[in-house]
Amino acid sequence: MRKCVLLLMVLGLLPLIPSCGSGAPGPSADAPELFQAVPSDALGAGYFSRLDHALERMTDSTSILRTIDFGRLARSKAVVALCDVSSIVPLVAIEAGKASPDTSAAAAALLALADSARVPCLHFTIGEHNIVLLSPSETVITVAGRHLLSGSSILDAPDFDKVSEVLPGGDVIVYRNRGAHKLFGNRIDAGLRASVIPFLRDASEWMIVSDGSIVTVQPDAEKYFSNFCSSLPAAPSKFGDVLPEGTMFYIDVPVSGTEEFRDAYELWLDARVALESYNARLSRLGKACGKDPRIWEKELDVREVAVADYPFGKVNFLRVKNKESNKGVTVNPWTGYVRALYGDAFNPADSCVMRSGNWIISGSRKALDSLSFNAAASRDWPAKAKAVAGLPAERLVWNKDNIINLWHSNR
């Protein structure tokens, strides 16, 4: 897809996903109580059953917060919020015992440790629990205190009620995608940043990362990529049969029906005020090559669109209805059609083309002449999906339940 959101998820989020579970735990009845300590404008928040896990996952190894000896509170429930105060600064909220005189000693001891380490801190009560807040930033602590006094939190943020409805039990991280440029900017190659980050902001309002899965949450607005992708049924995926040997990165989009896919894709482009320029691009290409790309797509009856980056180049793949034998590499009469139809993610130099059964494969002559398929890839390939993307050892699969699961080759 255009500036495909899965590209960011693979490159930016794989280091953040804790396990290779096959799916997220079932939804919890309520958002964890500690979310009440997260300011309403935070760009992200992670809830963990243990503070030591929270610090390891959500703070830099050089953070002053990781120098404090939390003692038995290292095993307490905690939330780490990602607050935007010109830069992203963590706020840690720790559950420190029941809010009664005989159990406040743990909170008092932690406050004393934080004070001696010159770490800004605050004590508060939420429900029946003592809560200790710590941050490297005095500003963040001040903002958090104001939110707590006013009774506002991330639970009041726009559409967070939809997050709460699908929030799984167990450890979980929630990201607000409008802050993608700050949250993920340093995790993405500079060459990709300008195209991927803006798209992610429109892909969904929130992302929930938990137990090897990603769930997207967004209002019922047609401009969101997640709504577009969610509206399509999962379709058979055969890309594992032709995945190039040595592939470093790939995107695969199975298509359940060409007309259904086309209608949904163009509805999404129209909602993003991008359909007019899209149509103009297709029109120019059709006049130059002698056939409207959409007619070309319909005649082929496209069933799957994919792209792979491997050591000899970048190659597009189209799985179509009719099978043909391989007649070798020839000049591509439809240069640029795949990219124009399906977006900038499918952008190799495609001056040449070859056939392999139901697959039309396009790229440079060097890339096609050197192409060999990874026979082992198809053994654990998903039978159906809405979209698939991956690196050599990890794969994200957007399944029929609208959950994006992480698969590890070393599971």
Structural domains of the chain, count: 2
The mean pLDDT value for 232-241 works out to 93
Do 55 and 155 lie in one domain? The reply is: yes
Tens digits of residue pLDDT in 270-283: 988 899 999 999 99
Instruction: Please state at what angle helix 275-289 crosses helix 258-271, rounded to 10 degrees.
Output: 130
Tell the residue number behind the tokens 């790939």, with chain if given: 250
Instruction: Give the predicted TM-score (pTM) of the model.
Output: 0.75
Q: Report the alpha-carbon distance of residue 74 to residue 55 in Å, rounded.
A: 9
Q: Report the alpha-carbon distance of residue 63 to residue 59 in Å, rounded.
A: 6
Tens digits of residue pLDDT in 30-79: 678 899 999 999 999 999 999 999 999 888 888 899 989 888 889 999 99
**What's the pLDDT at 381?**
92
Q: Is it the case that residue 411 has pLDDT exceeding 90?
A: no
Do 140 and 256 lie in one domain? The reply is: no
Identify which of 122-126, 215-219, 343-347 has the greatest average pLDDT.
122-126
Three-state secondary structure call for residue 357: strand
The mean pLDDT value for 336-363 works out to 91
Q: Where are the alpha helices (DSSP H) in 124-255?
A: 138-150, 160-166, 180-183, 190-203, 225-230
CB 386 within 8 A of CB 254: yes
The mean pLDDT value for 86-98 works out to 89
Strands (E), 242-373: 249-254, 304-310, 313-324, 330-331, 352-363
Q: Report the alpha-carbon distance of residue 230 to residue 386 in Å, rounded.
A: 8
Question: pLDDT band at 207, cuts 50/70/90?
Answer: confident
- Percent of the chain at pLDDT > 90 equals 48
Do 39 and 148 lie in one domain? The reply is: yes
Which residues constitute the domain of residue 304? 233-385
Could you tell me which residues are beta bridge partners of residue 175? 44, 207
**What's the pLDDT at 212?**
76
Identify the domain boundary among 137, 166, 195.
Answer: 166
The mean pLDDT value for 248-259 works out to 90
Tens digits of residue pLDDT in 351-401: 999 999 999 999 999 999 999 999 888 888 999 999 888 877 778 888 888
The mean pLDDT value for 159-170 works out to 88
Could you tell me which residues are beta bridge partners of residue 252? 306, 388
Do 44 and 119 lie in one domain? The reply is: yes
Residue 2 domain flag: no
Three-state secondary structure call for residue 145: helix
Question: pLDDT band at 291, cuts 50/70/90?
Answer: very high
Q: Report the alpha-carbon distance of residue 133 to residue 140 in Å, rounded.
A: 10
**What's the pLDDT at 220?**
73
**What's the pLDDT at 10?**
42
Residue 121 domain flag: yes
**What's the pLDDT at 48?**
94
Q: Report the alpha-carbon distance of residue 398 to residue 403 in Å, rounded.
A: 6
Question: Counting Cβ atoms within 10 Å, is residue 210 exposed (0-12), middle (13-18) or buried (19+)?
Answer: buried
Question: pLDDT band at 13, cuts 50/70/90?
Answer: very low
Do 120 and 256 lie in one domain? The reply is: no
Mean of pLDDT over the chain? 84
Question: Counting Cβ atoms within 10 Å, is residue 322 exposed (0-12), middle (13-18) or buried (19+)?
Answer: exposed
**What's the pLDDT at 404?**
80
Residue 263 domain flag: yes
CB 361 within 8 A of CB 368: yes
Question: pLDDT band at 224, cuts 50/70/90?
Answer: confident
**What's the pLDDT at 116?**
86
Residue 399 domain flag: no
Distances (CA, A) of 127 to 36, 131, 135, 186: 10, 10, 22, 37
End-to-end CA distance of the chain: 29
Residue 224 domain flag: no
Tell the residue number behind the tokens 């629990």, with chain if given: 129
- Percent of the chain at pLDDT > 70 equals 86
Question: Counting Cβ atoms within 10 Å, is residue 163 exposed (0-12), middle (13-18) or buried (19+)?
Answer: buried
**What's the pLDDT at 107?**
79
Q: Is it the case that residue 101 has pLDDT exceeding 90?
A: no
The mean pLDDT value for 101-111 works out to 72
Identify the domain boundary among 120, 142, 166.
Answer: 166
Residue 284 domain flag: yes
Q: Report the alpha-carbon distance of residue 316 to residue 252 in Å, rounded.
A: 10
Do 269 and 153 lie in one domain? The reply is: no
Do 259 and 162 lie in one domain? The reply is: no
Do 159 and 261 lie in one domain? The reply is: no
Contacts with 220 (C-beta within 8 Å, 6 or more apart), sequence order: 227
Do 143 and 241 lie in one domain? The reply is: no
Give kind and range of the element (H or E) at residue 207.
Answer: strand 206-210
Distances (CA, A) of 267 to 156, 273, 284: 31, 10, 21
Question: pLDDT band at 318, cuts 50/70/90?
Answer: very high
Q: Is it the case that residue 14 has pLDDT exceeding 60?
A: no
Do 155 and 265 lie in one domain? The reply is: no
Question: pLDDT band at 83, cuts 50/70/90?
Answer: very high
Residue 393 domain flag: no
| CATH assignment at residue 62 | 3.40.1000
**What's the pLDDT at 196?**
59
Residue 88 domain flag: yes
Tell the residue number behind the tokens 């980050």, with chain if given: 197
Do 113 and 241 lie in one domain? The reply is: no
Do 365 and 265 lie in one domain? The reply is: yes
